[in-house]
């Protein structure tokens, strides 16, 4: 049974080529996989595309109007089911089918002017605070949009494309070359219509027949909390509109995280260095630390050594998962740098001498420890190492 190509596009059997094209463009924009990921929509998109390819070809459409199906095995589905040449219009169509012509499914046929649009990429600078909390940002994009004058058709209002005289609407031309094997027939896209099978004789003045125009517009992008440098946010259907008014691609917003004056980032964790005076490290103190979530108190125990690390649990950035949801927070690692004074006045020097006397450290004995390779520093250890070579 022949398929109802007219019903698939929702047009009447006497629809003009322009009406068929408009119906296809409308359905393609709704059902394209980049816009509608539903499995049923993808299957419907393939059916709609097949129907348009058939009805936009004058010869294939003629087969449909005669009750046949140009995509069936026999090329037609009429009453003569046992006839191997059923569905062919005549001797010319039979020769075309056997020797590379475009009728009865023998050739590639014209290609559609309606093509999917390409994706667009925009970089957006964000501070660490904006990456941590998320933000809604208005961005300006300059992309191809649907021409509102011709609705993507490319022709001036009231006119329609005409069948190409060079290829007869097939979208390709053939040439015969002689070789030692005999005559070889080759096909190539029509140079006049560029393979479309039709020519826009009266193009739209606004888009010059392309079906789209460049325009600058402002859209709002929602940046989720926890994004990082190099991450991309996808805005479906906000990219370039395709040639012929085809479905638009996607817009990808790439995050460019700006350096922070206090914190460095390692995934969802944050690191910072805090300088502590020597006396405060020895006596102990309380530091008020500004974090991304507010002010926190950090207790420095008496006798704190250089390089001591304190971890403030949950004071890092949100952990953004691949599905866009947040799963907990990272930590803030505080590294303490004990600052030893480089210049002392007379009174300060005397006080330190008194402290050294009290602690018995006027001439301290150095403590020798092993280095990272398990070898001791010092002259005699180097001699021993040399003797074992």
Indicate the annotated binding residues for Zn(2+): 147, 150, 164, 167, 190, 193, 204, 207
Q: Cα–Cα distance between 122 and 220 in angstroms, integer?
A: 13
Known binding residues:
147, 150, 164, 167, 190, 193, 204, 207
For 76, counting Cβ atoms within 10 Å of its Cβ (0-12 exposed, 13-18 middle, 19+ buried), the class is buried
What SS3 state is found at 385? helix
Q: Is the dihedral of CA 231, 233, 237, 239 positive or negative?
A: negative
Inter-axis angle of helices 39-55 and 17-31, nearest 10: 160
Copy the structure tokens of residue 113: 């002017």
Q: Cα–Cα distance between 119 and 53 in angstroms, integer?
A: 25
Q: How many CB atoms lie within 10 A of CB 303?
A: 10
Q: Cα–Cα distance between 356 and 351 in angstroms, integer?
A: 9
Q: How many CB atoms lie within 10 A of CB 344?
A: 11
Question: Among 94, 115, 97, 116, which residue's Cα sits nearest to residue 106?
Answer: 97
End-to-end CA, the chain: 91
Please, what's the b/e burial string for 346-368 (b: 16 or more CB within 10 A of its CB; e: otherwise)? eeeeeeeeeeeeeeeeeeeeeee
- Check residue 242 and report its DSSP letter: B
Contact yes or no for 302/239 (Cβ under 8 A)? no
* Chain-centroid distance, C-alpha 351: 66
- Check residue 336 and report its DSSP letter: E
Question: Among 182, 196, 190, which residue's Cα sits nearest to residue 114?
Answer: 196
Contact yes or no for 29/35 (Cβ under 8 A)? yes
């Amino acid at each position: 049974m022949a398929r109802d190509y007219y019903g698939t596009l929702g047009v009447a059997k006497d629809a003009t080529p322009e009406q068929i094209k408009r119906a296809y463009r409308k359905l393609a924009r709704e059902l394209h996989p980049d816009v509608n990921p539903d499995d049923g929509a993808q299957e419907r998109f393939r059916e709609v595309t097949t129907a348009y390819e058939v009805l936009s070809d004058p010869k294939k459409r003629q087969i449909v109007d005669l009750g046949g199906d140009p995509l069936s095995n026999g090329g037609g589905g009429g009453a003569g089911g046992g006839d191997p040449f059923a569905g062919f219009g005549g001797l010319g169509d039979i020769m075309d089918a056997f020797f590379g012509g475009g009728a009865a499914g023998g050739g590639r046929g014209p290609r559609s002017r309606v093509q999917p649009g390409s994706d667009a990429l925009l970089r957006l600078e964000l501070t660490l605070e904006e990456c941590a909390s998320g933000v809604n940002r208005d961005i300006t994009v300059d992309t191809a949009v649907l021409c509102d004058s011709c609705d993507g058709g490319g022709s001036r209002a009231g006119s329609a494309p005409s069948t190409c005289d060079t290829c007869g609407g097939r979208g390709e031309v053939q040439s015969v070359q002689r070789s030692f094997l005999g005559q070889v027939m080759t096909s190539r896209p029509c140079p006049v219509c560029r393979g479309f099978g039709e020519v826009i004789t009266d193009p739209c003045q606004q888009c010059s027949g392309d079906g789209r125009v460049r325009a600058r517009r402002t859209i709002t992008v929602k940046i989720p909390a926890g994004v990082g440098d190099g991450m991309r946010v996808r805005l479906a259907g906000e990219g370039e509109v395709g040639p012929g008014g085809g479905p638009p691609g996607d817009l990808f917003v790439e995050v460019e995280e700006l350096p922070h004056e206090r914190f460095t980032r390692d995934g969802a964790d944050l690191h910072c260095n805090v300088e502590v005076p020597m006396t405060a490290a020895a006596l102990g103190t309380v530091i008020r630390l500004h974090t991304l979530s507010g002010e926190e108190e950090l207790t420095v125990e008496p006798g704190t050594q250089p390089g001591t690390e304190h971890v403030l649990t949950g004071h890092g950035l949100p952990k953004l998962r691949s599905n866009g949801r947040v799963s907990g927070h990272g930590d803030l690692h505080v590294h303490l740098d004990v600052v030893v004074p480089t210049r002392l006045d007379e009174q300060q020097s005397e006080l330190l001498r008194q402290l050294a006397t009290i602690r018995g450290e006027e001439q301290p004995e150095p403590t020798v420890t092993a280095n990272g390779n398990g070898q001791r520093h010092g002259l005699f250890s180097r001699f021993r190492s040399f003797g074992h070579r």
